Amino acid sequence: MAELPIITFPDDNLRIISKEITVFDSNVKTLINDMLETMYKMNAIGLAAPQVGCNERIIVVDISKEKNKPFYLINPEVIHSSGGIKFPDRCLSLPGIYGDVRRPERLKIKYNDLFGNQLKLEAEEIMASVIHHEIDHLNGVLFIDYLLAG
Ligand SMILES: [Zn+2]
């Protein structure tokens, strides 16, 4: 595994719509492992591939205190969202910036696993917020966009 350099604002790579993964090979697995290592090294709870300069639809998340519940989502897509809840937000790509962002309280997501199988996941509260933040990265959206929008 290798730690990857984090791309920071205003790098154009953060504003690109990332590409769907269609080939589920060992490159995808390597990227996910490297992203997890990078996330843990940076003491973050989530990371999206564009943040390491790779414009592909992959996110990794671990909100556990012990940092022992990693998971990854390939081609994640929100199929249902409800409610709204504000959490303090921050981002490795926006060092030193903090702000409260309102996001859905509950999310239903479909995604692929490493073998290309399509799975579904339901998340709520902080988990929903983190996943929503990371999926935003795949669409070129940053949390400061919400702050600017009021
Ligand atoms: Zn972020």
Residue 22: domain span: 12-149
Edge-to-edge strand list for the sheet holding 71-82: 46-48, 58-61, 71-82, 106-112, 118-124
Question: Other C-beta atoms within 10 Å of 138: how many?
Answer: 24
Report the domain count for the chain. 1
13 C-alpha to ligand 1 centroid (Å): 13
The 10s digit of each residue's pLDDT in 59-116 is 999 999 999 999 999 999 999 999 999 999 999 999 999 999 999 999 999 999 999 9
Q: What pTM, to 2 d.p., does this model score?
A: 0.96
Catalytic residues, by residue number, are 134
How far away, in angstroms, is 25 Cα from ligand 1 center?
26
Answer yes or no: is 35 within a domain.
yes
- Name the residue among 80, 38, 41 with its Cα closest to residue 60: 38
List the CATH number of the domain containing 102.
3.90.45.10
Task: With respect to residue 4, please indicate whether it lies within any of the assigned structural domains.
Answer: no
| Ligand 1 centroid, distance to 22 Cα (angstroms) | 24
